[in-house]
Amino acid sequence: MADLDDLRDGAKFGENIAQKTEGFFLKGCNNLDWGMKDRMSRIFNPDSGRSVMLAFDHGFIMGPTSGVERIDLTILPLIEHADCLMCARGILRSLVPPSSRKPICLRSDAGSSILTDLNHNVIIDVQDAARLNASAMAVMVAIGDADTEALTVSNLYNAVDAGQAYGIPVMGVTAVGKAMARDARYFALASRICAENGANIVKTYYTEGFEKVVACCPVPIVIAGGKKLPELEALELAYMAIQAGAAGVDMGRNVFQSDAPAAMIQAVGAVVHKDIKPAEAFQMYQDLKQLADATK
Ligand code: 5RP
């Protein structure tokens, strides 16, 4: 039986103090449920409203491409500097320590490789994403590709339905086919279609006129890094995207294929969270690289 001795009446009701009703810090997310907001807050830093996501899901299509041959040797040392990790479930279960406490953006579609046509993917079971405590599910969409547009949009749509049931946000990843123009008009179209179908985050590519891509997308956008660039150029890319309104980066090759990946991800972090200009971030990269080289 409950202990009812000395049951005291409450006295501190704060009748004259209105309860605060806080807005949520990410655009388009105010009406999400608590679990969704909790997961979004793990991915995006509530102080800056931004995220450095480290993408190392490349092997799910490309196999052991440069930089991800040995995730344990090349990627794990970087994860302390990332806000969120993007990978496929096999790598997550086999190599990523659960004790790292990093939010996971789980690659949640599968079915393609570089040896066949891309994007004939199906989505994984949301219950497995829930078992893995995923903070988001990433699903690729191929807008403008006649063969796979409908399938990949329905993948996204179904992932959103499933994610909604478990409180797991979905990130729509805009694929770029060979025939598609990499311009603001295309990325605005692809990003908007992701958001209209319920994506809570959109991952796309930076391009000239990116302000328009961001402005017409009602949810946060992060950019992919794309192919490896010289470090200064990659930092410029991140800077321009952030200044145009991106909520972060989901970068892979420009980090793990760098000469100094740990220095690079920290420099990217300074651009993303502190609005550091590219030249200063590049200096930071060089200083950290020199330090790492000296202790080798
Ligand atoms: C591809 C992806 C990859 O994770 C992403 O493109 C990797 O990042 P980067 O381009 O920076 O290597 O989502 O669909």
Contact 56, 95 (CB under 8 A): no
- Active-site residue identified among 37, 102, 178, 203: 203
Ligand 1 centroid to residue 113 C-alpha, Å: 14
Percent of the chain with pLDDT over 90: 86
pLDDT over 80 at 65, yes or no: yes
Q: What is the pLDDT of residue 290?
A: 97
Ligand 1 centroid to residue 88 C-alpha, Å: 12
The finding on whether 142 has its CB within 6 A of some atom of ligand 1 is no
The finding on whether 85 has its CB within 6 A of some atom of ligand 1 is no
CA-nearest residue, atom 13 of ligand 1? 173
Read off the pLDDT band of 112 (50, 70, 90).
confident
- CATH code for the part of the protein at 34-294: 3.20.20.70
pLDDT over 90 at 2, yes or no: no
| CA–CA separation, 131 and 234 (whole Å) | 35
What are the residue ranges spanned by the domains of the chain?
A: 34-294
pLDDT over 80 at 237, yes or no: yes
The finding on whether 226 has its CB within 6 A of some atom of ligand 1 is yes
Both tokens of 102, joined, read 């990093």
pLDDT over 70 at 117, yes or no: no
Ligand 1 centroid to residue 5 C-alpha, Å: 62
Q: In the chain, count H helices and then E strands.
A: 12, 10
The 8-class DSSP code of residue 222 comes to: E
Whether 203 is catalytic is: yes
pLDDT over 70 at 118, yes or no: no
Ligand 1 centroid to residue 250 C-alpha, Å: 7
pLDDT tens-digit map of 168-192 = 999 999 988 666 788 999 999 999 9
